[in-house]
Structure 1
């Protein structure tokens, strides 16, 4: 079918060229200094003033009135290039833009992307690296938390709650492949190394039809291709980790590579108390690593191949030991988790109008909880008890995607995605009570097939229409779910630099995340929809009003949205998904919940000039309802943040120094508090009485971070950057959780209950150093 479709499209594109007096030109746009493909570069015709942009692979197609037309190719931070007289050129064009003078980089005007759908944004990587961060660790997900409609969980968490959704409702892609767990150190920062990233795009409203499988958002990250001109790299030294990135040509102008890695500094420092011949002690061990690699080879001007790899893992172990008269006992509990992804892509320019890519992908996530007890008694037999519980998911799939540029007014995107999932939740091996080993248990396979078609139609010069459809099939346990997902986008440019955007999208989610409410940094399990737990579904309507103020270099946006969700799941109070379960997980969870979310988002940004940054404010409300919770009445979602205010700013001083600051304020998240408690004289603790779910609020969360970076040239003429700063500058005691204490009199008789706020991060200075070579 696809073969015949390609043949028809090729014939149509050739016929259009023969019978038209116009000329269609195409090509790719690259950075002349390192060969990186430039995504979102603009190509403008001098006669018709028509503008198109390069796609995710740097490709463009433009129809011009005649061969004597001239075009302008431009990109932020680069010197524009002009091309005339196309009779002397062969297609596709290979255009290389020269970076603008580094000293003038902050004053280059940025062209606003009017084609971006409502509810989407991109953060330039150079701006990201200037933001203050936890202990100097720049993090792409934390940067997104300073934008409208995006909030975090507790202090230090890298999990994102976007427009009333939960972290598992975010589709996070790294070079086209989904990443299931995106946090290190229990959520303090993400697994994405900024040294390896080229771009990050967030979609939270009008989702393009090529994305699906989650309810709340899409975060699409692209890795750098690697410098195909010269060898280089950078090494960074920080408080939490050390990182190294290397890139260079394999064949100059043809093939290149990039390799980057991080290891935890905490793993190099000792958190151990040495064991003694007698007494008691404890130890905590934590370490992590990341490894990114990418190879690409330009076979010809029309063919290119890419191979992307990622592997990262976290290990945490807590142990208590005691020793007395030669007898040693040790109790340990551990938590290990990590991801492995791989993507093989082949891009092909079939004609001046048709661009395609063929993708093979692999993704694996593993989470493990370990418990062990050892008794080493010289007078008796050595005893070792253990229980290891694993949860994981592995995906193997492929994608076929086409971009067809029918004309300057109409672009089509269509394709097919196929994925084979393999779920393995709660596989346990233990000898605690009796030998137990279900590692041979059958895994839960599931197959997903998605078709999509997306169009961008310029009805007039100022009005663009984006209809789309995605149709998904999901087969699991002899049952098939099929769901259409219509998508709609509208962009209307008005006089005086005003514009209106709107969007409507339906999304389905066929996977669910079960998290451990007890111990554990990252212990969780991904499980498929079943005949008992049906797929979740959302519908969202968004509208936005935008104003560009070119004289001041400002952009103003106002967006509103309404979202409805159904077939949500929740947990009965006290549920713990670690170890052996008394029943199947889909019998334990509470099902068929519904959700409603609404919000207004405002953002004022300045992306150019010596002083730049943005301010955002979000007013929102997110609620849930289950027949078995709260008497079937609506209750606030745990991380419902009614008010969210964030600001970030950078200011360049001279040629070397840049000052930066970030501030964030969030309404305290919802928490379930007891209405009363029974306390008896002989009880070990209170017996709480609960009435309503999430009936209280934690104190408000707010924090100021400040930082400074200095550009340095070493004696060997190498560029370096020194970063200094303070996290939580005014030492705010932000709440992590509430600790419940029982008050007693001198006779140890209970007299009352108190709630104490527990905080984790005080004011923390940081320093970091990055050397480029």
Structure 2
């Protein structure tokens, strides 16, 4: 009897569970801009009945399982919300949601009924916000916009390089449509290579890294290009002091296929027209500099559930300095140049298999080239022309493939599983020359490395208030017969006790298999990427963080603070200006200091307001980052070069009228570390001094601070073409921020009689700027 009762009990329980599960409704689909047909990432999908929600991914895809019929709300900044009733008839049917821009000019962020925190959410910046920030000469820059978020700082004046939580720019994985971009600098670092007119979204991970990302120690920055308008042809023309840009987009097949092409070129190319005419018995110098960017993308909707994308980027900088002399029709000239650039391409395919599976696959290509040139033209004693040259080039080329499956097995579980394969080709310091004494410097052979990655990333809603993210990544990296294998576990948790409080914690492990070497003595900088080898193994970082945030619905403010701590191992270091090329250069793995350890910690605080006439963000970071090598600094800890103890950033925008707004940014950073000599030995013959150093990075540059102001006027041309006029002032109070310092020695060579003075050099004074754009 008891056995029968038990069987009946379990049968009833199973039946109840089955009916409960059967009543669940799973729905999925994609969200697009109604006017352009562009896929929209980061759209909030929220069911007010079950209090469950999700975000769309970069392909505009979402999947949500509800305990029963629900009412979904789709909302995004600047768009009117859309409501859809979900019931059993939507099972296994893909939704095609179109959002229309709000008739109101004021952007609104919905504060109530937001989805619960999912551990690992990135910092997202709307491209419209990026384009409205006042910057150097009015050039909007997505990387500089990220520097106004906590834990992120910049290098010297005007630099677009990011130092995230004490790391260096080469420790940032920067992806453009899922392809790594190795050098992100134009004009030697004054702004980045990313044309905001071609970008759709930008996000930054700096702590809780999802398992699908790896290969760098400090951060991941994901940038997505626009797909193009599949409804009508249009474009935008941008005019600025530094460059001009043109963007064209439109349908190839209406509602099915579209394209976008966006290019910009620098005005500095006009330096070609400013060259001096070389007259008899004359001498002088000329320089030539220009750069360009070209972005292109095609997308084709194969079916309601299948999408194909092909994207391309190319950008290049060319700098050349000529020094010439003409004497009685005999001309002698020397020229030095730096050329560098990137080319990337991606072929991607995405498919909504059903409400529980979303597939994405990609083939990627990336190439970075850096070149230093030196040419001499002369006439020998017999009147014959003599041309000598020495060109040194470094290159890294990647070919790879990615496959990722998004799986939603349960309403409380979301999984991402994937594999990646990449073949790297490194060509370091390849030299071509006709100098006789340098003939031994033949072209170096290529170094090939093979990388294979597998990952699993899982988000679990343990309760309505607690979310857990667990996952891992395993990497195999083979180079020169040596294989490095490293597991990288990841974990994060978020607790939302109510709608206004969030508590988070995360722990991650990252490995970096690339090393960046920089010859700072060559003009704008000549750099080379090299793989880890047996003598210089991959660098490793272990990081954990805890965070707390609080929302105040009344004033629409959100406060957050986060504390992080990380340890580093297998680090490398070398003094500024180290020479890795030339006749006297040693192999790079003999020059660098190896097997160093590092440590860093910091507290990040932010206050943000996203609605009303006044919007803005205040962020403050106090941090410390240090290195230690056995053979450097007597084995003692010393600050990393861009260790900044205090970093304050303020950005604000105020709408004066519906068409007129003003914005301001302010930045304050503690000066970065520099190495100051203890003394100098002066020679009696007047030759240069020999400096004596005791400690690495024992001094500090002066503090860096600057205020920028801007004014934006929106309008129309001939009553139908939107226009925007930007005016502003860079460095309003004319602060002489340090670019670099030089050492000046004077006095007697006798001990204790001479002096060493430090002279500061600055670059940008107060600068007005103007830019104008028109859409058609």
TM-score (norm 2): 0.94
Aligned to 2:276: 273
Aligned to 2:223: 221
| Cα distance in 2 between the residues matched to 1:485 and 1:275 | 61
Give 1:448 deviation, angstroms. Answer: 0.5
Question: Does residue 741 of the first structure (1) align with residue 750 of the second (2)?
Answer: no
Question: Does residue 428 of the first structure (1) align with residue 451 of the second (2)?
Answer: no
Q: CA 1:293 to 1:113, structure 2 compared with 1: closer, same or farther past 3 Å? A: farther
Question: Does residue 392 of the first structure (1) align with residue 395 of the second (2)?
Answer: yes
User: Does the residue aligned with 1:682 lie in a helix, a strand or coil?
Assistant: coil
User: Does the residue aligned with 2:188 lie in a helix, a strand or coil?
Assistant: helix
Query: Aligned-residue CA RMSD in angstroms?
Result: 2.0
Q: CA 1:189 to 1:572, structure 2 compared with 1: closer, same or farther past 3 Å? A: closer
Question: Does residue 101 of the first structure (1) align with residue 103 of the second (2)?
Answer: yes
Bigger CA drift: 628-637 or 516-525?
516-525
| Cα distance in 2 between the residues matched to 1:578 and 1:636 | 27
| Cα distance in 2 between the residues matched to 1:167 and 1:85 | 46
Correspondence 1:639-678 to 2 at 5 A = 639-678=642-681
Question: Is the 2:134–2:708 Cα contact (8 Å) retained in structure 1?
Answer: yes
Question: Does residue 195 of the first structure (1) align with residue 192 of the second (2)?
Answer: no
Give 1:140 deviation, angstroms. Answer: 0.5
Correspondence 1:88-487 to 2 at 5 A = 91-105=93-107, 114-115=116-117, 117=119, 120-269=122-271, 270-376=273-379, 379-434=382-437, 436=439, 441-487=444-490
Count of matched residue positions in the alignment of Structure 1 and Structure 2? 754
| Cα distance in 2 between the residues matched to 1:671 and 1:261 | 39
User: Does the residue aligned with 2:22 lie in a helix, a strand or coil?
Assistant: coil
User: Does the residue aligned with 1:208 lie in a helix, a strand or coil?
Assistant: coil
Q: CA 1:292 to 1:338, structure 2 compared with 1: closer, same or farther past 3 Å? A: same
User: Does the residue aligned with 1:531 lie in a helix, a strand or coil?
Assistant: coil
Correspondence 1:614-629 to 2 at 5 A = 614-629=617-632
1:281-323 per-position Cα deviation (integer Å, ceiling 9, x unaligned): 0011100000000110010111100001000000000111111
Give unpaired runs (5+ residues) of structure 2. Answer: 1-16
| Cα distance in 1 between the residues matched to 2:43 and 2:509 | 30
1:101-151 per-position Cα deviation (integer Å, ceiling 9, x unaligned): 142335776986653546831111111111000000000011111111111
Q: CA 1:469 to 1:192, structure 2 compared with 1: closer, same or farther past 3 Å? A: same
Give 1:495 deviation, angstroms. Answer: 3.0
| Cα distance in 2 between the residues matched to 1:740 and 1:765 | 32
Q: CA 1:111 to 1:420, structure 2 compared with 1: closer, same or farther past 3 Å? A: farther
| Cα distance in 1 between the residues matched to 2:189 and 2:669 | 18
Question: Is the 1:110–1:607 Cα contact (8 Å) retained in structure 2?
Answer: no
Question: Does residue 54 of the first structure (1) align with residue 63 of the second (2)?
Answer: no
Give 1:396 deviation, angstroms. Answer: 0.2
| Cα distance in 2 between the residues matched to 1:251 and 1:600 | 51
Give 1:437 deviation, angstroms. Answer: 7.5
Question: Is the 2:25–2:87 Cα contact (8 Å) retained in structure 1?
Answer: no
User: Does the residue aligned with 1:207 lie in a helix, a strand or coil?
Assistant: coil
1:534-559 per-position Cα deviation (integer Å, ceiling 9, x unaligned): 00000001110000111111111100
Question: Does residue 39 of the first structure (1) align with residue 41 of the second (2)?
Answer: yes
Q: CA 1:410 to 1:119, structure 2 compared with 1: closer, same or farther past 3 Å? A: closer
| Cα distance in 1 between the residues matched to 2:590 and 2:306 | 51
User: Does the residue aligned with 1:627 lie in a helix, a strand or coil?
Assistant: coil
| Cα distance in 1 between the residues matched to 2:98 and 2:644 | 46
Aligned to 1:76: 77
Bigger CA drift: 710-719 or 609-618?
710-719
| Cα distance in 2 between the residues matched to 1:113 and 1:172 | 28
1:320-346 per-position Cα deviation (integer Å, ceiling 9, x unaligned): 111112221111110000000000000
Q: CA 1:61 to 1:581, structure 2 compared with 1: closer, same or farther past 3 Å? A: farther
Give 1:372 deviation, angstroms. Answer: 1.1
Q: CA 1:383 to 1:608, structure 2 compared with 1: closer, same or farther past 3 Å? A: same
| Cα distance in 2 between the residues matched to 1:637 and 1:210 | 29
User: Does the residue aligned with 2:100 lie in a helix, a strand or coil?
Assistant: strand
1:428-449 per-position Cα deviation (integer Å, ceiling 9, x unaligned): 0112234637665420000010
Question: Does residue 549 of the first structure (1) align with residue 533 of the second (2)?
Answer: no
Aligned to 1:525: 528
Aligned to 1:755: 758
Question: Is the 2:519–2:577 Cα contact (8 Å) retained in structure 1?
Answer: no
Question: Is the 1:119–1:542 Cα contact (8 Å) retained in structure 2?
Answer: no
Give 1:378 deviation, angstroms. Answer: 8.2
Question: Is the 1:170–1:219 Cα contact (8 Å) retained in structure 2?
Answer: yes
| Cα distance in 2 between the residues matched to 1:427 and 1:85 | 62
Bigger CA drift: 271-280 or 361-370?
271-280
User: Does the residue aligned with 1:61 lie in a helix, a strand or coil?
Assistant: strand
Question: Is the 2:563–2:603 Cα contact (8 Å) retained in structure 1?
Answer: yes
| Cα distance in 2 between the residues matched to 1:189 and 1:113 | 35
Question: Is the 1:109–1:608 Cα contact (8 Å) retained in structure 2?
Answer: no
Question: Is the 1:498–1:547 Cα contact (8 Å) retained in structure 2?
Answer: yes
Question: Is the 2:460–2:467 Cα contact (8 Å) retained in structure 1?
Answer: yes
User: Does the residue aligned with 2:404 lie in a helix, a strand or coil?
Assistant: strand
Question: Is the 1:106–1:610 Cα contact (8 Å) retained in structure 2?
Answer: no
User: Does the residue aligned with 2:105 lie in a helix, a strand or coil?
Assistant: helix
| Cα distance in 1 between the residues matched to 2:240 and 2:115 | 35
Residue in structure 2 matching 1:565, options 558, 564, 568: 568
Question: Is the 2:268–2:290 Cα contact (8 Å) retained in structure 1?
Answer: yes
Aligned to 2:29: 27
User: Does the residue aligned with 1:103 lie in a helix, a strand or coil?
Assistant: coil
Question: Is the 1:335–1:521 Cα contact (8 Å) retained in structure 2?
Answer: yes
User: Does the residue aligned with 2:230 lie in a helix, a strand or coil?
Assistant: coil
Q: CA 1:600 to 1:87, structure 2 compared with 1: closer, same or farther past 3 Å? A: closer
Q: CA 1:724 to 1:731, structure 2 compared with 1: closer, same or farther past 3 Å? A: same
| Cα distance in 2 between the residues matched to 1:320 and 1:738 | 26
Question: Does residue 589 of the first structure (1) align with residue 589 of the second (2)?
Answer: no
Aligned to 1:9: none
User: Does the residue aligned with 1:37 lie in a helix, a strand or coil?
Assistant: coil
| Cα distance in 1 between the residues matched to 2:116 and 2:739 | 40
